[in-house]
Amino acid sequence: MSERHTALRSMHDLGLAAWFGGSLMGAFGVNGAAAKISDTSQRLPVASAGWARWTPVNAAAIGAHLAGAVGELVTESPRMATQAGVGRASAVKTALTVGALAVTGYSRLLGMRLEKAGGPSVQGTTEPNAQTPSHVAKSQRQLKMLQWTIPALTGALIVVTAYMGEQQRPGQVFRGILGRAQGLAGSPMKMSRLAAMGSAKRH
């Protein structure tokens, strides 16, 4: 079987890049530009329209990333079993992915609530003013925190992915396999030592 998985890696990396870049650009660009509109009642509808247009693209990017990630998980499963550290890194990556998905989904839910709010007067997309209805202001404050959580989590995913790429270097693979072998060999020895110590105490 070929050791190349270019399609899977491309889906994984391009999807993650769009997920990270889109969330960061939206927080800075879409929300920032909407806050510059002079009519305070148009700021939220304009930002909501921008995010609504991005949502299908973002969903496709996330889907591509997940498909690539699952494919890589399957193809890299032998290394997870034989190379120390790969399984731990994979678990961290999975946790970050689940967290990013949850935050992205809830952020979109908040965005849909703001879309349905119409055109209330606001300071910005995620900043209410004195005239903003309380239920709208609540969703805005939640969204303000989450809009930075998404790029933080997806950025961390990029870092973990880079780290896992380094683990595939021949020297890292050799040391990881050696470390796993030593750990497996050391376990029976430790148990025999403990058994010997227990026997000595009984006598």
Tens digits of residue pLDDT in 8-23: 999 999 999 999 999 9
pLDDT for 144 equals 94
CA distance 27 to 84: 38
> What does the pLDDT read at residue 76?
76
In terms of Cα–Cα distance, which of 163, 160, 144 is closest to 95? Answer: 160
Residue 162: how many other CB atoms lie within 10 Å: 9
Tokens of 175: 């040391």
**199/112: higher pLDDT:** 112
Q: Residue 197's pLDDT band (boundaries 50, 70, 90)?
A: very low
Q: Would you state the structure tokens that stand for residue 11, as one six-digit string? A: 């889906």
Nearest of 19, 151, 164, 147 to residue 94 by alpha carbon: 164
Mean of the pLDDT values across residues 63-67? 97
Answer whether residue 196 shows pLDDT above 90: no
Instruction: Kindly report the number of other CB atoms within 10 A of residue 160's CB atom.
Output: 18
pLDDT at position 83: 72
pLDDT (mean) for 120-141: 95
- Residue 153 and residue 96 in contact, taking contact as beta carbons nearer than 8 Å: yes
pTM: 0.79
Cα 49 from chain centre: 25
Phi, psi of 84, rounded to the nearest 5 degrees:
-60, 140
Q: How many percent of the chain have pLDDT more than 70? A: 78
84: DSSP letter = T
Task: Please check the confidence at residue 160 and state whether its pLDDT lies above 80.
Answer: yes
- CA angle, 26 as apex, 22 and 31 as ends, to 5°? 175
d(CA 186, CA 131): 68
Cα(100)–Cα(125) distance, rounded to whole angstroms?
21
What interhelical angle do 43-75 and 86-116 show, nearest 10?
Answer: 160
